[in-house]
Amino acid sequence: MTVEASRNVLASDFLEGRAKKRRSIAITAPEGVTLFFNLADPGERLTAFAIDFVIWTVATIIFYLVLIFVVFGAMKLNNQIGLTIALSIMLFLGFAIRNFYFIHFELAWQGSTPGKRAVGIRVVDRKGGALTPMAIVARNLTREVEIFIPLGVLSSLGHSNGTMENLALTAWILLFSALPLFNRLRMRGGDLIAGTVVVALPRKMLLTDLVDAGTQTVFLEKHLRAYGTFELQILEELLRRPNAPDAVQLRREVTDKIVKKIGWTAKVADADTLRFLTDFYAAQRAHLEREQLYGKFRADKNAPVTTAR
Amino acid sequence: MTALEKSDLSAGPKPLVLKSNQFRKAREDTWRELEALVARAEKRGVLSLGPEELERLPILYRATMSSLSVARGIALDRNLLNYLEALAVRAYLVVYGPRVRQLNGAVRFLTTDLPRAVRQARWHVLIAFLAMFGGIVAGFLLAHANEDWVGALVPGDLAGERGPDSTADDLRKDEIYAPWPGLVNSFALMANFLFSHNTLVGLLIFSLGIAAGIPGLLLLFYQGLGLGAFIALHYHRGLLIDFLGWLSVHGVTELTAITLFGAAGLVLAEKVLFPNRMTRLESLATQGKAAAQIAIGAMMMLFVAGILEGGFRQLIQSTEWRFAIGGVTGLFWLNYYTLAGKRG
């Protein structure tokens, strides 16, 4: 059922669909090239925070276990000074873990924490400048108020008496913690102050060029007028995962649609669909890229050809 | 069916010449080299690269940026475009990332940045101080008229046993001249607790600055109310001077810190309320770092105050010496914030 649904989505994408775009901010590098930083989703940020939260909790528990161990050890030895020093160090470390975990990692890892790194997101300066230590400190100073206090409040929400109190607390949580959901750049209060945003920085692999396979089919120009860049890239995506479980059937469907659309009269056998689609991709890309060099760009099959400005 | 519309499957694939394909073949090695350097810099920092690699980095980076803008113009291979976009962004962050060593940054912060930020916010400091001072006066007047106010104005866990029922002897014995609780309790436990509690209050005052400053000012006023009520409580029992001495050991530092938190919040509030020609967001971002500097300074002061309060306050049992410590700390902070880091 789910396989069926996903296939239909892709097959129709090839003809009618639209790609979903992430929100991004444009930053022009000093070299004059505009770079696009994709913003991290709220889900990604929540996941990253959850991972950090678990690490932080485990670290704190370990420190307190060590604390208890050392305290009991010291009491057996009846060593008053050792006990004092151990207690004081451990208490301070517990506090430090709680308050400086994020600041430390974002400073040392240039805007990343273990959770953020696992998810593939990072803190960057909103204007594209260097991420200064002060900005990192600034965005983490408000974390206590935005996240830890509301977390504490949430856990005590049931116990407090009076609806007014609950209402005020809910308003508080909404005002501060849900701030990222209410602005376009998905900023927390700390991000507002520090002038930062959290962006997704996925690692992309450079795969082999599909054109490298060469071509066996000759298409005429009249066959290549049907589609634009968008369809070309959807086809690329289809060809780049040839081992999907339903790939054979999917290729058959897409081949039939293309054959009908471009007026291809020869029959394409089931065994030849991959070859046909690869060749069509190469020919279509060669055609569109050539046109683009002459200043004619075509976004998708519905768009008219635009001449370069 | 024309002869041309036939796949010539018997002849084997013929190579196809595409400009984007040739372009990629000529430059791919550069990208791969940059990718490897960037991956290492991301993992272990830019400084983990060797001198030759550091020399290569900007060259590779510029070549890749140029590749990206060419690819945007001529290539329709989405995988290639996505790869170059992602690589360029990652390389950009490595190349233009901060190079300040953490220790150097910390020294600069203490000697120059912090006092300068506080001086620039002197009006905010004044307003924050007035809000708290107003609270002290109001609290004093209220509790002076009726001591029941003490219970209402001071949260129970902070007031401890102290309240309208306390006698002068109680206060003298349990509070002002209470015996020193010993090294463990004073430094390890009490100082830590006080620091955490005060920092939380301070951060709250600071963060509420985003909400246009009014909640922060109210919180400052509220902090003052409790203190004023306590002052009245001791005044009625003829302990005013002893109490102020007891308070001044840490209070000078602590109240200054709370005031600074308030001032930092007001810096934020000002930028939200009066963004000038910029948008509110831009305006906030310009001053947010200065405000955070003040807040960090205030946090360090609270750390000092926590040690003074938890550790030294009960160790020193003479009011004269307590005033001396309070005075010295006050002079120190005043000098530091007005003079440190001034040019020429």
On whether both A195 and A249 belong to a single domain, the answer is: no
For A142, nearest residue in chain B (alpha carbons): B207
On whether both B152 and B232 belong to a single domain, the answer is: yes
At residue B331, what is the residue type?
Answer: L
Which of B85, B93, B289 lies closest to A132 in CB terms?
Answer: B289
On whether both B73 and B165 belong to a single domain, the answer is: no
On whether both B86 and B163 belong to a single domain, the answer is: no
What's the DSSP call for residue A41? Answer: P
Burial class (CB in 10 A: 0-12, 13-18, 19+), B19: middle
Domain boundary among A183, A200, A217: A200
On whether both A164 and A303 belong to a single domain, the answer is: no
Query: In Å, how far from its chain's centre is CA B297?
Result: 8
B267: contact with A, CB 8 A cutoff: no
On whether both A8 and A25 belong to a single domain, the answer is: yes
Residue count (chain B): 344
Q: What is the mean pLDDT of residues A277-282?
A: 87
On whether both A44 and A181 belong to a single domain, the answer is: yes
SS3 A179: helix
A205: contact with B, CB 8 A cutoff: yes
On whether both B107 and B37 belong to a single domain, the answer is: no
Q: Which of B10, B21, B194 to mutate to test the interface with A (most CBs of A within 10 A)?
A: B21
Residue B174 belongs to a domain: yes
Burial string for B257-296 (b: 16+ CB within 10 Å, else e) reads bbbbbbbbbbbbbbbbeeeeeeeebebbbebbbbbbbbbb
Residue for token digits 């290639």? B80
On whether both B112 and B259 belong to a single domain, the answer is: yes
Do the Cβ atoms of A107 and B102 come within 8 Å?
yes
Per-residue pLDDT of chain B (344 residues; tens, 9 = 90+): 444 455 555 556 677 778 888 888 899 999 999 999 998 888 887 778 888 988 999 999 999 999 999 998 888 888 898 899 989 999 998 888 766 666 777 788 888 888 888 888 889 889 888 988 998 898 888 888 877 777 777 765 555 556 666 666 666 666 666 665 555 555 555 565 666 677 777 777 787 777 777 888 888 888 888 888 888 888 877 777 887 888 888 888 888 888 888 888 888 888 777 777 777 777 777 778 888 888 888 888 888 887 777 667 667 777 788 888 888 888 888 888 888 777 64
Do the Cβ atoms of A91 and B188 come within 8 Å?
yes
How many Cβ atoms sit within 10 Å of the Cβ of residue B103? 8
On whether both A191 and A50 belong to a single domain, the answer is: yes
On whether both B228 and B307 belong to a single domain, the answer is: yes
On whether both B198 and B265 belong to a single domain, the answer is: yes
Question: Mind giving me the DSSP string for A121-151?
Answer: EEEEETTS----HHHHHHHHHTHIIIIIHHH
On whether both B120 and B46 belong to a single domain, the answer is: no
Domain boundary among A174, A200, A226: A200
Helix (H) or strand (E) holding A26, with range, is strand A24-28
- B149 with B143: CB under 8 angstroms? yes
Do the Cβ atoms of B83 and A33 come within 8 Å?
no
Residue A1: predicted pLDDT = 31
Q: What is the value of pTM for the model shown?
A: 0.74
On whether both A43 and A102 belong to a single domain, the answer is: yes
Q: Give the span between the Cα atoms of B311 and B189, in whole angstroms.
A: 10
| HSE-CB for B227 with a 13 A CA cutoff | 22
Those residues with Cβ within 8 angstroms of residue A300's Cβ, 6 or more apart along the chain or in another chain? A227, A228, A229, A230, A231
Q: Which of A36, A206, A296 to mutate to test the interface with B (most CBs of B within 10 A)?
A: A206
Helix (H) or strand (E) holding A35, with range, is strand A34-38
Domain that holds residue B36: 19-95
Helix (H) or strand (E) holding A199, with range, is strand A196-200
Q: Residue A261: pLDDT above 50?
A: yes
B207: contact with A, CB 8 A cutoff: yes
Q: Residue A282: pLDDT above 50?
A: yes
- A277 with A217: CB under 8 angstroms? no
Enter the tokens of residue A246: 């339903």
Enter the tokens of residue A148: 């830890």
On whether both A45 and A171 belong to a single domain, the answer is: yes
On whether both B192 and B299 belong to a single domain, the answer is: yes
For A95, nearest residue in chain B (alpha carbons): B196
Residue B333 belongs to a domain: yes
Which of B4, B24, B98 lies closest to A132 in CB terms?
Answer: B98
On whether both B213 and B111 belong to a single domain, the answer is: yes
Domain boundary among B77, B95, B113: B95
Burial string for A116-149 (b: 16+ CB within 10 Å, else e) reads bbebebbbbbbebeebbbbbbbbbbbbbbbbbeb
Domain boundary among B95, B126, B158: B95
On whether both A288 and A252 belong to a single domain, the answer is: yes
On whether both B76 and B165 belong to a single domain, the answer is: no
Residue B4 belongs to a domain: no
Residue B9 belongs to a domain: no
Q: What ipTM was predicted for this assembly?
A: 0.78
The residues in B 46-105 lying below 8 A from A, measured between CB atoms, are 62, 65-66, 68-69, 73-80, 82-83, 85-90, 92-93, 96-100, 102, 105
- B68 with B84: CB under 8 angstroms? yes
What are the tens digits of pLDDT across the range A180-208?
777 788 888 788 888 888 988 877 888 88
Instruction: Name the domain count of chain B.
Output: 2
- B18 with A286: CB under 8 angstroms? yes
On whether both A142 and A246 belong to a single domain, the answer is: no
SS3 A16: coil
On whether both A184 and A212 belong to a single domain, the answer is: no
Q: Give the span between the Cα atoms of B296 and B302, in whole angstroms.
A: 10
On whether both A140 and A220 belong to a single domain, the answer is: no
Do the Cβ atoms of B86 and A204 come within 8 Å?
yes
SS3 B90: helix
Instruction: Name the domain count of chain A.
Output: 2
**Alpha-carbon gap: B31 to the closest alpha carbon of chain A (Å):** 10
Q: Give the span between the Cα atoms of A29 and B87, in whole angstroms.
A: 14
A282: contact with B, CB 8 A cutoff: yes
**Alpha-carbon gap: A251 to the closest alpha carbon of chain B (Å):** 17
A162: contact with B, CB 8 A cutoff: no
On whether both A27 and A43 belong to a single domain, the answer is: no
What's the DSSP call for residue A164? Answer: H
On whether both B331 and B251 belong to a single domain, the answer is: yes
Average pLDDT of every residue of chain B: 79
Domain that holds residue A139: 39-200
Do the Cβ atoms of A33 and B65 come within 8 Å?
yes
Domain boundary among B95, B122, B154: B95
For A93, nearest residue in chain B (alpha carbons): B192
Residue B251 belongs to a domain: yes
The residues in B 141-200 lying below 8 A from A, measured between CB atoms, are 183-184, 187-189, 192, 195-196, 199-200
**Alpha-carbon gap: B12 to the closest alpha carbon of chain A (Å):** 7
At residue A34, what is the residue type?
Answer: T
Do the Cβ atoms of B79 and A266 come within 8 Å?
no
